[in-house]
Amino acid sequence: MKVSTDACILGAWTPIEAHVNRVLDAGAGTGLLSLMLAQRSEGIMIDGIELDENAAMQAKGNVAASAWAERINIVQADIRNYVFHEKYDLIICNPPFFINSLLGDREERNNARHTLTLSYEDILALFEKALSEDGYASVLLPSPEYEVWKTLLSRNGWFINRVLLIKPRENMKANRVVSLCSRKASNVLEEELIIYKETNRYTKAATQLLSPFYLNL
């Protein structure tokens, strides 16, 4: 799976609050988000859990080759039935996006992009059992699916606390949303990020957000 700009925005923007010590990267893929969060904060320990065996192997290799190998633990497992022995202060998740979209011809890509092996209900159940009482979760979704996610949270006593609306260009609607959710109600802080200028170059805001992670930006 290629590294997407959306995923990089998730890893770069997600706040790491002062009380965060333990982080869960749910559906870690090849370890991108775990590595980004480890780079951003020296004080956190990260568990990355990934269902796909090949992706988990790649994640372990990427972590071993990094400067943060001692703070990241990659596990090949299914988070739906994994037994957690501790709670996390932050869970970050770039989940399968699409609910009722046309599938492709590659099983591993379909599982990564469509809710075939991990539903939104499964994600919320994960938060229920693995997130600490004062913890919060950061989730990246397409805009239509975000509305479904928001409704699911509301029906189950969870709250959206902060939102990043991601627009490809200034004159376009947001097509991706990063949302922070928790068990605690608050006023929703809404932000906006425009990725590209008309010249197809990154905007100043996108450049500032992503430059610590890109070699040429």
Question: What CATH number is associated with residue 163?
Answer: 3.40.50.150
Q: What is the largest CA-CA distance in the chain?
A: 50
The answer to the question of residue 100 being in a domain is yes
The answer to the question of residue 217 being in a domain is no
Which band of pLDDT confidence, cut at 50, 70 and 90, is reported for residue 105? low
pLDDT at 82: 95
- Crossing angle of helices 53-64 and 32-40, in 10° steps, is 30
The answer to the question of residue 108 being in a domain is yes
The answer to the question of residue 119 being in a domain is yes
Which band of pLDDT confidence, cut at 50, 70 and 90, is reported for residue 172? very high
Q: Is 106 exposed, middle or buried (0-12, 13-18, 19+ CB in 10 A)?
A: exposed
The answer to the question of residue 41 being in a domain is yes
Give the mean model confidence (pLDDT) for residues 50-79: 97
Which band of pLDDT confidence, cut at 50, 70 and 90, is reported for residue 106? low
The answer to the question of residue 11 being in a domain is yes
99 vs 42, higher pLDDT: 42
- Is a pLDDT exceeding 90 seen at residue 30? yes
Range of the domain at 25: 5-210
Q: Are 71 and 38 in contact (CB under 8 A)?
A: yes
Structure tokens belonging to residue 170: 């200034």
Residue 27, Ramachandran bin (φ over 0: left; ψ between -120 and 50: alpha; else beta) = left
The answer to the question of residue 26 being in a domain is yes
pLDDT at 1: 62
Q: How many domains does the chain have?
A: 1
Give the mean model confidence (pLDDT) for residues 161-165: 98
The answer to the question of residue 9 being in a domain is yes
pLDDT at 103: 38
